[in-house]
Amino acid sequence: MSTFSGLSTALTALTAQRQALEVAGQNIANANTVGYTRQRAELQSVGSGQSATMFSQGSSVGNGVQVSGISRLGDLFLDARVRTTTSSAAFLATRAEAYGRLESTIAEPGTNGIAKQLDDFWATWQDVSNNPTSAAAGQVLIEGAHSVQRAISTGYSAVSTQWEQTRGKADALVSEINTTAASVAELNEKIRSISVSGGNANELIDQRNVLTTSLASLAGATVREHPDGTSDVSIGGNPIVSGIRAQKLTVVGGTTMVGATGADTVRVEWDRVPAGTTAALGGGELAGVLSVLAPADGQGTGGLLAEAAASYNALATKVATSVNSIHETVRADGSTGGPIFSISPAGPPALVLTVAVTDPSQINPGQGGEDGSIADQISQIGNAPGSPDEAWSSFVVATGVKAKAATQSAVVAETARATADNLQLAQTSVDLDEESVNMLAFQRSYQGAARVMTAIDEMLDQLINRTGVVGR
């Protein structure tokens, strides 16, 4: 043990405490940075070297302290939990949002919906039945028919607009996923090269975590960490980022609701050769969007927009056929009335439904003369079982029930996500009190080490300058 070793011990303390203080400073600086994980300087005492000489004297003291590393106080399991819950919360939130918007276009229950138009329409038939030859009543009836037709086609158009906007969102989401995946791959590369050279890539890892969480939210991505610091990101079990390489996704399928069925169903594929491999999604917003865009399956369990559109179509057909079938009854004199509504064979019935009568004289209220029996019969359509009104009302209620369920599960999933997020935050966020205490401790240690240095210096001063000067 040399005379000056105490000085170097004090020096290691000065260096280590200063470095630890710097880490505290970094933590405080990033107290509000999104995704930042608090760090800690790991201090380690340096032992004395084993001196195996025969002249070594007594037990030796250690050689001070060193910073063995700057650790990132994250938790892989908490991170994974955040990703899983985020993925399902994003999926359910997307569906709930779509239902909410669909409901707002339905406008039921209320005085502006299709139910009201139908009720009014049936009532006008009664007026026509009361005054079969009145042109005024006929004109009101024709207007009523137009109102019903407009209400149905407006509802359908709103659904189809929502579909197209959602389709646009799918494209935007996929390009966001591709950019994010590319950034993750880039970060992997940087992290690996820094880790290999023994550097500190904590901040880059934080950034990568933010990106992978956003991939989980977008497409239900899962993450696997590698010992070299890189991490693989998989979507539905297939890697979108593996090491420093990123794959791309692409949206294929129709761009209109009518066209996006069968082989043109909207889906996500891997953008590589050969094309045509469908990418399974584990959850996330994109999966939610795809489920919203799915085609109708005829059993009411298809995509919610396509099913809504199918209900509008069914309603249009039902209104037209139920009114026309009575209106076209063969009268006592052998003549028949023409159709009130016509549906051209091309296009969705809700959009191509038109009012065929243009003049009150084309209305056939009864068996001739002042008879209004046919109009009266038509006015009772709304009360019959299997009426268009019944179909519409059951569609509204079914949508309401599904929307409610979707909202509830979205709320539950969001609570789970918030809990996971809070746990992660509790683990990783910077506590200013804690950092203040640390700062205090490091500062004091630094002061102590400086004092040790002064003491040794005074000791040496005693030895060098004041020893052996007796009688001078």
Partner 1 sequence: MITRVTHQSAQRTSLANLQDNLAKMAALQAQASSGKLINKASDDPAKAAEAMALRKEQRAAEQYARNAQDGVSWLTTVDTAIQSSVDFMQRARDLTVQGANTGAVGLAAREALAVEVEGIRDALLGQANATYIGRSVFAGTANGSAFTKDAVTGEYVAATSHGTVERRVGENTTVRVDADGAQVFGDGATSAFALLTSIAADLRDPGVNVSSRITEIDTRISSMLSQASSIGARTNQLTAAQEALSTQTMTLKSDLSGVEDIDLAQTIIELQMQEVGYKAALGATARVLQPSLLDYLR
Cβ burial, residue 416 (10 Å; 0-12/13-18/19+): middle
Closest to partner 1 by CB, 270 or 392: 392
Sheet with 238-242, strands from edge to edge, namely 221-225, 231-235, 238-242, 245-246
- Binding residue for partner 1 (CB under 8 A) from 195, 321, 367, 409? 367
Least distance (Å) from partner 1 to the CB of residue 295? 24
Cα separation, 144 vs 31, whole angstroms: 64
- Contact (CB, 8 A) for 297 and 310: no
Give the pair of three-digit tokens for residue 96: 């709930």
Six token digits for residue 91: 């999926």
Maximum separation of any 2 CA atoms in the chain, in Å: 154
Parallel, antiparallel, or unpaired: how do β-strands 65-72 and 39-45 relate? antiparallel
Nearer to partner 1, 68 or 361 (CB): 361
Q: Where are the beta strands (DSSP E) in 180-225?
A: 221-225
Report CA torsion sign: 430, 432, 438, 439: positive
Instruction: Name residues contacting partner 1, limited to 41-100 (CB under 8 A).
Output: 99-100
Among 469, 463, 454, smallest CA distance to 3 is for 463
Q: Which of 433, 464, 465, 471 binds partner 1 (CB under 8 A)?
A: 433
Residue selected from 219, 326, 378, 396 as contacting partner 1 according to rule CB under 8 A:
396
| Cβ–Cβ < 8 Å for 98, 305 | yes
Of these, 61, 280, 412, 437, which contacts partner 1 (CB under 8 A)?
A: 437
Could you say whether residue 109 binds partner 1 (CB under 8 A)?
yes
Residue written as token pair 């210096």:
457
Token pair for 289: 């969007």
371 touches partner 1 (CB under 8 A): yes
Binding part of the chain for partner 1, among 171-179, 253-261, 276-284, 403-411 by CB under 8 A, reads: 403-411
CB of 213 to partner 1, least distance (A): 15
Minimum Å gap between C-beta 369 and partner 1 is: 5
Residue 250 touching partner 1 (CB under 8 A): no
* Cβ contact 222:234 at 8 Å: yes
Work out whether 338 is an interface residue with partner 1 (CB under 8 A): no
- Quick count: other Cβ atoms within 10 Å of Cβ 317? 17
Count of residues interacting with partner 1 (CB under 8 A): 62
162 interacts with partner 1 by CB under 8 A: no
Alpha carbon distance 80, 379 (integer Å): 62
For position 399 contacting partner 1 by CB under 8 A, the verdict is yes
Which residues between 20 and 39 bind partner 1 (CB under 8 A)? 31-32
The binder of partner 1 chosen from 225, 228, 359, 370 (CB under 8 A): 370
- The single residue among 206, 232, 307, 389 that binds partner 1, judged by CB under 8 A, is 389
Token representation of residue 265: 């169903």
| Residue 388 binds to partner 1 (criterion: CB under 8 A) | no
Between the CA atoms of 265, 267, 272 and 277, what dihedral angle is there, to the nearest 10 degrees? -80
Q: Is 131 in the site for partner 1 (CB under 8 A)?
A: yes
Query: Contact between 126 and partner 1 (CB under 8 A)?
Result: yes
Q: At its nearest, how many Å lie between partner 1 and the CB of residue 371?
A: 4
Q: At what angle do helices 304-327 and 388-428 cross, to 10 degrees?
A: 170
With CA atoms as reference, report the closest residue to 123 among 380, 371, 362.
380
CB of 31 to partner 1, least distance (A): 7
Is residue 104 near partner 1 by the rule CB under 8 A?
yes
**Least distance to partner 1, CB of residue 129, Å:** 7
Residue by residue, DSSP assigns 432-449 as HHHHHHHHHHHHHHHHHH
| 463 belongs to the binding site for partner 1 (CB under 8 A) | no
Helices (H), 197-303: 202-219, 284-293
Tell me which of 10, 16, 80, 106 binds partner 1, using CB under 8 A: 106
Please tell me what DSSP assigns to residue 178: H
- Alpha-carbon distance 289 to 177, whole Å? 14
- Shortest Cβ 433–partner 1 spacing (Å): 4
Pick 17 or 117: Cβ nearer partner 1: 117
Among 79, 127, 285, 307, interactor with partner 1 by CB under 8 A: 127
Q: Which stretch binds partner 1 (CB under 8 A): 40-48, 251-259, 340-348, 436-444?
A: 436-444
Return residues touching partner 1 (CB under 8 A). Answer: 31-32, 99-100, 103-104, 106, 108-109, 111, 115-116, 119-120, 122-123, 126-127, 129-133, 366-373, 376, 379-380, 382-383, 389, 393, 396-397, 399-401, 403-404, 407, 418, 421-423, 425-427, 429-434, 436-437, 440
